Amino acid sequence: MAHSITLFQDSPLTLALGGELSPIEVAYQTYGKLNADKSNAVLLCHALTGDAEPYKNVPEQGWWQDFIGAGLAFDTDRYFFICSNVLGGCKGTTGPSSINQQTNKPYGSLFPVITVQDIVQVQKALLDALGISHLHAVVGGSFGGMQATQWGITYPDSVDNIINLCSSLTFSAKAIGFNHVMRQAIINDPNFNNGDYYEGLPPDNGLKIARMLGMLTYRTDVQLARAFGRETKQQSEILGDYFQVESYLSYQGVKFLDRFDANSYLRLLRALDLYDPALGYANEQEALQRIKAKYTLVGVTSDQLFKQIDLHKSKQRLENAGVQVNYYEFHSNFGHDAFLVDYAFFEPMLKKGLAGKK
């Protein structure tokens, strides 16, 4: 069970694109032991729909369940790991479904637009509250990789190593297009009500469709072909779940409803689209030049969301700004989701990144 802390009670969080939030509840979890000089702290940043518990001591597994433990990639005998649910989420940290103290109702449509910069500022406030002023490393995959990069920009003197898995510096036009279609599915659901649906029926159909589309961007054609091919269901309707792959996507859509809020999905998708390291600086070069940490970047050649060409461009832009980059790439049939499940490939790179080695 994640811990909870209330931040920004006396002074509100000023958001990068305008507006304020106060107070902010933050759900977080820790693993391992903080050493005497507090030099072994590592922040883990979750992807779009993750939570504060990458490892769980219950039958339900965390999203990095096989990566965390004694002697593993995230070695709890060596490091002290902290992970928090992001601002705007729905797993314990303040988001659109949280109660707005000014109205005593869920924020809904009143929840402001947030950015990765805002998310990182809340993470820094959490660490300050925990008495941790310096991080040995910040690690994140996908949306979490953007957070890790932003840590190096916003707090260059507070982190020694950045590990970015399967994430480019900015989202591509095609990826933004996928997110646009997902958003349209949600906001055009008859129950959406401009985001103020908490006293009525939620936009479940729209959210299911959005999740199904999202799953197709996380998987590869090879993986889907091996798992399902063109197999059909024994009992099926021609306009329903006729093929096994359709049944799988429908199942994933329904399962998603149990753990995520449509408004949070909308806000976090937009934060993903909007991420721009240059925000608040004259240009991207000026922002990236602030990074002092050693930077590990890992790409998957089969990733259909953060494509290989975008990772190569990001590497070049980082190096042009003087960032010390160790770049690795490999093929995995898991595509974008490889950073969550392909332990054998990622373990050596994570260990090298945490050790600050090539």
Report, as residue numbers or ranges, the catalytic residues: 142, 303, 336
Q: Residue 350 in contact with residue 68, Cβ under 8 Å?
A: no
Q: How far apart are CA 3 and CA 11, in angstroms?
A: 22
Q: How far apart are CA 313 and CA 168, in angstroms?
A: 8
Which residues are within 8 A (CB) of 247 and not within 5 positions of it... i.e. 6 or more apart?
233, 236, 241
Which CATH number does the domain 175-270 belong to among 3.40.50.300, 3.40.109.10, 1.10.10.10, 1.10.1740.110? 1.10.1740.110
Tell me the pLDDT tens digit for each residue of 63-85: 999 999 999 999 999 999 999 99
Tokens linked to 184: 């349209």
Residue found by looking up tokens 């003087």 in the block: 322
Q: How far apart are CA 356 and CA 137, in angstroms?
A: 9
Tokens linked to 312: 């190569």
Q: How far apart are CA 164 and CA 278, in angstroms?
A: 18
> pLDDT at position 234, please?
78
Tell me the pLDDT tens digit for each residue of 98-131: 999 999 999 999 999 999 999 999 999 999 999 9
Task: Evaluate if residue 243 carries a pLDDT over 70.
Answer: yes
Domain limits of the chain? 3-172+275-355, 175-270
Q: How far apart are CA 30 and CA 10, in angstroms?
A: 26
- Determine how many CB atoms are found less than 10 A away from the CB of residue 345: 18
**Exposed, middle or buried by CB within 10 Å (0-12, 13-18, 19+), for 296?**
buried
The annotated binding site is made up of: 211, 337
Opening angle at CA 87, ends 327 and 176, nearest 5? 55
> pLDDT at position 356, please?
83
**Total length of the chain:** 358
The residue type of 58 is: V
The annotated binding site for substrate is made up of: 211, 337
Q: What is the pTM of this model?
A: 0.96
Opening angle at CA 205, ends 202 and 210, nearest 5? 105
Same fold, 3-172+275-355 and 175-270: no
Q: How far apart are CA 2 and CA 18, in angstroms?
A: 30
Task: Evaluate if residue 348 carries a pLDDT over 90.
Answer: yes
3-172+275-355, which class in CATH? alpha beta
